[in-house]
Amino acid sequence: MANVAEGAAQVQPQVVHSPEALRSALSGRGRVGLVPTMGYLHDGHATLMRRAREVCDVLVVSIFVNPLQFGPSEDLAAYPRDLKRDLGVVGEAGVDVVFMPSTETMYPPAFDTRVVVSGVSEGLDGASRPGHFVGVATVVLKLLNLVRPDVAFFGEKDWQQLAVLRQMVRDLNVPVEVVGLPTVRAPSGLALSSRNSYLTAEQQARAAVLSRALAAVRSAYAAGEREASKLRQTGLDVLSEDPEVTLDYLSVVGRDMQEREVVDNDPMTRVLVAARMFGVRLIDNMPLVSVRPEMDSA
């Protein structure tokens, strides 16, 4: 497998914009890994790339701000973009190919197909952001069809999204391994996100209240609490400490993304939170069982 040695010189990846150029860049290559992104890359993305670099011969990163997953009142136009910075990140991670399609390339005139994944997509962010997961599933399926990777890497911060994509891959027999990697956090505990750039340093420090709430729920579970309502209240008590928190949801869910009343020891059980702070919508989650699940890929 190809690897980037510690301290090795940065290698410029091949940047392609069309499906034809992408196919040419990947022709005859070995085991292909894909890290799909919307750009404005941070160390969470870089962690995915470094892991992919370890196990793949060829590493592709896509950079595409997908309009289908933004609602009419969401931040598509304001979504942060910094291509020069992004190319530096992918170069340091040893990425081979960067696929940067235009909106017209991904969604040409008369494009009228959508991918709907029922069940796991319907609550939580699916309820708060109607159409979001349709946009996510549609663009990811297109990227999988274009790149044809052997393995695709996603962060666990977007836990419901990961569940949606795993379901899509299983249901449609897409020949790819989907790997989820643990959330990368700032020293404060705040989950890394491109949208953190909307916040000042002081606001980011306060936003770490979300991860503290999740950690409190996990501690209560470790101490023996199994009633989901009481676990949830533990998290709500922490969130109430900061008046800037406008809660969307705090939920304890199983692998089917459904709310639990009583929590068992299933390692796929998670506590998820979504809230607005300082006008920015943030999400986070943590497993309740401390042991990493065996099923980190599907």
User: Is 297 labelled as part of a ligand binding site?
Assistant: no
User: Is 266 labelled as part of a ligand binding site?
Assistant: no
User: Is 43 labelled as part of a ligand binding site?
Assistant: yes
User: Is 157 labelled as part of a ligand binding site?
Assistant: yes
User: Is 192 labelled as part of a ligand binding site?
Assistant: yes
User: Is 38 labelled as part of a ligand binding site?
Assistant: yes
The answer to whether 132 is a known catalytic residue is no
User: Is 42 labelled as part of a ligand binding site?
Assistant: yes
User: Is 69 labelled as part of a ligand binding site?
Assistant: yes
User: Is 41 labelled as part of a ligand binding site?
Assistant: yes
| Annotated catalytic residue, options 45, 166, 218, 260 | 45
User: Is 10 labelled as part of a ligand binding site?
Assistant: no
CB within 8 A of 47, min separation 6: which ones? 155, 181, 184
In angstroms, how far is CA 143 from the centroid of its own chain? 15
User: Is 17 labelled as part of a ligand binding site?
Assistant: no
User: Is 195 labelled as part of a ligand binding site?
Assistant: yes
Point out the residues that are catalytic.
45
Annotated binding site for ATP: 38-45, 155-158, 184, 192-195
Annotated binding site for (R)-pantoate: 69, 161
Annotated binding site: 38-45, 69, 155-158, 161, 184, 192-195
Annotated binding site for beta-alanine: 69
